[in-house]
Structure 1
Amino acid sequence: MSAKHFINDPTVLVDTALQSLSITNPSVALDATNKIVYRRPGHASQVSIISGGGSGHEPSFGAFVGSGLLSAAVAGTIFASPSAEQVRKAITSRVDTDKGVLVTVMNYTGDILNFGMAVEKAKAAGLKVEMVVVGDDVGVGREKGGKVGRRGIAGTVLVHKIAGALAAQGASLEQVYRVAKLTADNLVSVGASLEHVHVPGRAPLDPKAEGSLGADEVEVGMGIHNEAGSGRAKVELPELVKTMLSQLLDKNDKDRAFLNVNSNEVVLLVNNLGGVSVLELGGITTEVVKQLGEWGIRPVRILSGTYMTSLNGLGFSISLLNVVNTDIGGPSMIQLLDYPCEATGWSAPIAKETWEAKNTNTREDGTTSDQSIKPSGLKADASAFTEKLTSGLEALISVEPEVTRFDTVVGDGDCGIGLKRGAEETQATGDLVVDVANIVPVIENSMDGTSGALFAIFLNALVHSLRDLSPGEATPQLWSKALKQSCEALARYTPARPGDRTIVDALYPFVDTLGETGNIKEAAIASNKAAGKTKGMRASLGRAVYVGGSGFETVPDPGAFGLASFFLGLAGTEPDEEGWEM
């Protein structure tokens, strides 16, 4: 895990992060001295809900303060409990106490002792206060957990959301306490991480130190403070998810069978521990939902996002809430989960009606197979066309390693792979317009990025130009005219011109020379020479502009080189015959 941070002073980091909550949500205020984020006065009286813990788990807990959720959150330093005095201050002076206060805390010794001491002091002062301890983690089983019990992790936010919604609807302290505890008792969670996290202000972790994770290892059940879990493994995501779900759901695992999950109504929370990309978390969520289906579980609500982190932890957790009857004669757990709130940390914008509609309708493609490209009327030797096109594609495929190497120096390394992928999927039939038209969807579907878009625009324009010029003989002059029209069409979408170090450097000379000479070999040679001149040419467009460095001095433009190679193959000319210099 990276030991680099924008804010290296942990005190400044926590203080400024807390300050941001009052900046981004006008309804909350900050007691900076005591690190308390709380709702500003002026709202209707209700049971107040207070939580908190060490910093480093954002958006928990401060970003969950707001209407319909927490009334206040108390922060400690990074991974350390706030003091009892901080919590007492929150209970007695930062929230409404008329209808009572519910304190929720995760099952960690320091949190329980400090929050518990504050609760007892508040009770001694005559206030109505109850406390619920959340322990949802199954990463450590009964035997190892002993008297300490299960740790509290991301499932805790579901307790906050449900209890906060109930309190906002005017329920009594007794009812809010009962439903909060019922929710906590019906939760199981487990996490996994690829690395330990680094706390700003501390010495960097030695990757070779005892307890460090190997490059290909994952810790199953790792806690949110770098605590060890149930073990380490070298597994891919499907096997990892299988292990995690087994720990959550296997009734025969007596060490971890904490909850008999009801497959009728289950809420799933896939939580980012802070360092997983949104893209990858999406893939993880899909895998979790897929495997839950194999257990016969189809969640009635699915929450996926960042709710409780371990700083920038490169991991995720899975939480399952067994939806049960609240027995209070009011809203159900699902209704409470769906209830609106105004807190910057809560992300669940899908409405109750959308979930319950279970809409499975889809839209079909607007085109069908009977709308295929019609013959053009252009006459050409089909076998010769196929032979030349195949030769060009084979030449393109053969230079893929070089194209990729060049693109790695000046770009992101995907150009050659994209060209090769598009080339390998192209099949020629011999009909000019039909063949070019059939190439277009292959390019569009197989080639990513700028090169794919440029080729697709150019080829679409070429189809249009060829059709406009048909019927007739497919002479070099006709090809030249169609190619020139395609270049003009391409120029409407990109400012790239010869000299900008793009594929255009190889395209224009080919088209111009073909028009002047009618000789495809001379056109290919001209293209090849122009592509060679891009070595040392500073880019004016594309990603290479931002990459910077001196790589452009050592390699030609990858796209131009690839296109020139295709033209040489098309003409049946070997690159080394033209004195290509590397």
Structure 2
Amino acid sequence: MVDAETTKHFINDPTHLVNTALRAVTLTNPSVDLDAENKVIYRKPSSLPAPQVSIVSGGGSGHEPSFAAFVGHGLLTGAVAGTIFASPSAEQIRRCLMQRVSGEKGILVTVMNYTGDVLNFGMAVEKAKASGREVEMVVVGDDVGVGREQGGKVGRRGIAGTVLVHKISGALAATGASLKEVAGVAQLVSDNIVSIGTSLSHVHVPGREKPQASDEELKEDEAEIGMGIHNEPGSEKATDDLPGLVKKMLGHLLDQSDSDRSFLDVSSKDEVVLFINNLGGTSVLELGGITNEAVEQLQKDYSIKPVRIISGTFMTSLNGLGFSITLLRIRDTGLGKSMLELLDAPAEATGWAAAISTKTWAAGSQTDAGKAATQASEEGEVTSNLKIDHELAKKALTSGLNRVIAAEADITQYDTIVGDGDCGIGLKRGAEAILKVLDTSRPTDDAVLFLDRIIGSVENTMDGTSGALYAIFLNALANGLRTQDSSSAQAVTVETWSKALASSLQSLSKYTPAKPGDRTLIDALHPFVETLEKTRNVKSAAEAADAGAKSTRGMKASLGRTVYVGGEGWQGVPDPGAHGLAEILTGLSDGLN
């Protein structure tokens, strides 16, 4: 699925893109410098307060913030960049090892398991050794998307788990540890990491021609599990929803019965770090949902409660529309510094985004399970003597709510043209919440109590401008009813509702300047209230609301996001908020008959 969105770039010259991106790293972190000729980002000698093991990594560009933005205190000492998705040359790497980082306490080279990277970094390491430098090299292969059979002698690819190797070994190096100790911990972390990614599409490299459609492209409803960070094939294509994808991914990471992929035996007794990585094109909002799903499934299906959860953008595949899951099994380093302590240690590198301290993690794990419950409101229900026919009220309201739910697609289409597309979903979410309240709460003939229950669900489920307007109006409506309460039971009439609606409309006007003719939901609400007040006829009032909503077609907006919409599309659709309200009121009227 390669479309215009994935092939459009602000910078199409790949050479210029890489060079300027590397320069930008030095602009955002004054402790690092750039060897532009060799594409090396390295720590300035002045930023090193005392000699320490130098840690060098790198690879093809396109995986930012890896690797250049991880250069800094507590992480890498130097990073060497190739062109997009291509290994740097052995000469670039040699220059870094010999000229840009200190060899006083030795150098650790950490590289991901790709043939080009291993060969070029390996060649440079051997040259540096031959020149008298003490250098060790650790190759990270954490991707279980490639099984033993497919990986063969090459082994697993290196992906996002490499970042944790960098972080833990970098923190240890900052303590003044020896090369043997730093390399040993790097290898220990590498041996206890498994990762797998999934993506909804392949990525396009700037400067390359748009690829022709082929059978290799993913269909609209497909995701590729195990796709590599350079578009390499994964283990399978799937049409699952997010829970299904996460289930399969965790299965590949943890299922010991899968002899092809059981690279690490993790049990509920182990301390485990969960690392969720954005491949570049997944929104922060979605990444949060993905993280939550992974945490819930780990606990539910494997009884694993991670001791650390890190989620963010660390190793990308350009703007890859996907994510990866990494699990690190904590092991004793034998050095008096635990993996967790080293993972939590602060790092002054722009690419490292996990800022939570060990102290905060420890405090957070000691939560009081009953705290939330004790903080919950214990307010009693406020009753009145205003009586309604509960079954009729429920029937009428259910009719209105079901009607707006059925109209969600149209409302969303209208709001996509004139707004941000969330009006239909918001109304549907609120309507479904109210229906749930109607089905689960005990029946009541108290009009105020009946309305208060509805208000609570609206306030908790409807957000945005329309949610606020509905909540204000309904609260004012409840107040309008209370002002008509008496000391003895009395039936609520159309006149009672009419007076309460008129007062609530007046209250709403204090919070919004919207008037009829401004192309808002007021164009449906105002004629409903006005007609009901005059005729005492709900059907006539609902018809007036519908007519008011339809009149917004072609009406120029004075308020709301529609004001900012250019073009002519808005002229052909009604205001989505007015249309949605008219649907509710029309359905409510139908339910009363």
Structures share a fold, TM > 0.5? yes
Q: Which moved more, 1:556-565 or 1:127-136?
A: 556-565
Map Cα deviations across residues 168-188 of structure 1 (whole Å, 9 max, x no partner): 001111211121122222222
Identify the residue that residue 363 of structure 1 maps to in structure 2: 372
The residue matched to 2:383 in structure 1 has which SS? coil
Aligned ranges 1:318-467 → 2 under 5 Å: 318-327=325-334, 329-357=335-363, 358-361=365-368, 362-364=371-373, 371-375=380-384, 377-378=385-386, 382-383=388-389, 387=392, 390-391=395-396, 394-395=399-400, 397-398=402-403, 400-402=405-407, 404-411=409-416, 412=421, 413-414=424-425, 417-418=428-429, 420-421=431-432, 424-425=435-436, 427=438, 429-467=444-482
Distance in 2 (CA, whole Å) between partners of 1:245 and 1:116 is 33
- The answer on 1:153 being equivalent to 2:159 is yes
**Greater shift in the superposed pair: 28-37 or 253-262:** 253-262
Q: Is it true that 1:69 corresponds to 2:78 in the alignment?
A: no
Structure 1: how far apart are the matches of 2:500 and 2:573? 31
Candidates 527, 535, 538, aligned match of 1:509: 527
Change (3 A) 1:423 1:92: same
Deviation at 1:193, TM superposition (A): 2.1
1:563 aligned to 2:581? yes
Q: Which residue of 2 aligns with 1:317?
A: 324
SS for the counterpart of 1:506 is: helix
- Alignment: residue pair count: 569
Query: 2:504 is aligned with what amino acid?
Result: S
Distance 2:175 2:9 in 1: 42
Picking from 235, 245, 253, the partner of 1:248 is 253
Q: 1:459 to 1:78 in 2, by over 3 A?
A: same
* CA positional deviation for 1:64: 0.6
**For 2:483, what is the secondary structure of its paired residue?**
helix
- What is the Cα deviation at residue 434 of structure 1? 2.5
| C-alpha deviation, 1:289, in angstroms | 2.6
Q: Sequence identity of aligned pairs in percent?
A: 57
Contact 2:396–2:591 (CA<8 Å) still a contact in 1? no
Which moved further from structure 2: 528-537 or 97-106?
528-537
The one-letter code matched in structure 2 to 1:374 is T
Q: Amino acid of the residue matched to residue 449 of structure 2?
A: V
Q: Which moved more, 1:318-327 or 1:417-426?
A: 417-426
Unmatched 5+ stretches in structure 2: none
Show the counterpart of 1:578. Answer: none
How far apart are 1:83 and its partner, in Å? 1.2
- Number of the residue aligned with 2:223: 218
Q: How far apart, in 1, do the equivalents of 2:220 and 2:541 lie?
A: 51
Residue type matched to 1:451 in 2? S
Quick check: 1:407–1:415 contact (8 Å CA) kept in 2?
no
Residue by residue over 1:183-221, the C-alpha shift from the partner in whole angstroms, topping out at 9 and shown as x without a partner, is: 2222222222222211111122233x2432333333222
Q: Any idea what SS the aligned residue of 1:364 has?
A: helix
User: Residues 244 and 394 from structure 1, CA distance in 2 versus in 1: closer, same or farther, beyond 3 angstroms?
Assistant: closer
The corresponding residue for 1:492 is 510
Q: CA deviation at 1:420?
A: 4.4
For residues 147-185 of structure 1, the C-alpha deviation after alignment (integer angstroms, 9 at most, x for no partner) is 212211111111111110111001111211121122222
Deviations 1:24-66 (A, max 9, x none): 1222222222211111221222111111000011111011111
Cα distance in 1 between the residues matched to 2:471 and 2:175:
57
| Counterparts of 1:395 and 1:39, CA distance in 2 | 65
Structure 1 Cα separation of the partners of residues 586 and 261 of structure 2 = 66
* Partner secondary structure for residue 160 of structure 2: coil
The 5-angstrom pairing of residues 43-54 of structure 1 reads 43-44=48-49, 45-54=51-60
2:9 alignment counterpart: 5
Distance verdict in 2 for CA 1:298–1:528, change over 3 Å: closer
C-alpha deviation, 1:481, in angstroms:
4.5
Supply the distance in 2 between the matched residues of 1:573 and 1:153 (Cα, whole angstroms): 58
> Equivalent residue for 1:235?
240
Alignment correspondent of 1:482: 500
Query: Distance in 2 between the 1:291 and 1:566 partners?
Result: 38
2:288 paired residue number: 282
Q: Could you tell me the TM-score, scaled by structure 2's length?
A: 0.88
**Structure 2 counterpart of 1:553, from 556, 563, 571:** 571
**Contact 2:517-2:555 at 8 Å conserved across structures:** yes
**Counterpart Cα distance in 1 of 2:259 and 2:354:** 34
Partner SS, residue 371 of structure 1: coil
Q: 1:270 to 1:398 in 2, by over 3 A?
A: closer
Once residues 89 and 550 of structure 2 are traced to their aligned partners in structure 1, the CA distance between those partners, rounded to angstroms, is 69
Quick one: structure 1 residues 432 and 160, their matched pair in 2 at CA, closer, same or farther if it must change by over 3 Å?
Answer: same
* Greater Cα shift, 47-56 or 250-259: 250-259
User: Residue 81 of structure 2: SS of its match in structure 1?
Assistant: strand
Question: Does the CA-based 8 Å contact 2:399-2:591 persist in structure 1?
Answer: no
Does structure 2 conserve the Cα–Cα contact (< 8 Å) formed by 1:410 and 1:551?
A: no
Determine the C-alpha separation between the residues in 1 that align with 2:437 and 2:147. 56
Aligned 1:92-111 pairs, distance under 5 A: 92-111=98-117
Give the distance between the partners of 2:435 and 2:62, measured in 1 at CA: 49
Report if the CA contact (8 A) 2:14-2:84 is conserved: yes
Q: For residues 337 and 516 of structure 1, do their structure 2 counterparts lie closer, same or farther at Cα, with a shift above 3 Å needed?
A: same
Tell me by how many angstroms 1:82 deviates: 0.8
Pair 1:389–1:547, CA change in 2 (3 A):
farther
- Cα separation, 2, equivalents of 1:266 and 1:199: 35
Give the distance between the partners of 1:540 and 1:481, measured in 2 at CA. 28
**Unaligned 5+ residue runs, structure 1?**
576-582
Q: Which stretch of structure 1 is more off in the superposition, 34-43 or 294-303?
A: 294-303
Say whether the 8 Å CA contact 1:223–1:229 is kept in structure 2.
yes
Residues 408-430 of structure 1, C-alpha deviations (whole Å, 9 max, x = no match): 13442436635643664564844
For residues 445 and 256 of structure 1, what CA distance do their matches in structure 2 show?
A: 44
Q: Is this contact kept in 2: 1:421–1:446, CA < 8 A?
A: no
Larger displacement relative to structure 2 (445-454 or 304-313): 445-454
The farther-off stretch of 3-12 and 71-80 is 3-12
SS at match of 2:34: strand
Counterpart in the other structure of 2:118:
112
Distance 1:422 1:355, change over 3 A: closer
Larger mean CA deviation between 395-404 and 81-90 belongs to: 395-404
- Per-residue CA deviation, residues 63-106 of structure 1 (Å, 9 max, x unaligned), is 11110000111100000011112111211222222212111111
Distance in 2 separating the partners of 1:463 and 1:171: 69
1:128-153 C-alpha deviation (Å, 9 max, x unpaired)? 22221112222222222222122111
What is aligned with 2:212? 206
CA RMSD of aligned residues (A): 2.9
- Aligned equivalents of 2:210, 2:333: Cα separation in 1: 47
Closer, same or farther: CA 6–261 of 1 in aligned 2, 3 Å: same
Instruction: Check whether the contact 2:399–2:590 (CA below 8 A) recurs between aligned residues.
Output: no
Deviation digits for residues 487-534 of structure 1 (CA, Å, limit 9, x no counterpart): 232122222221111111122233344445666565445444333321
Moved more, 352-361 or 112-121: 352-361
What is the CA-CA distance between 1:461 and the residue it aligns to?
A: 1.4
| SS in structure 2 of the partner of residue 414 of structure 1 | helix
Aligned amino acid, residue 572 of structure 2 = T
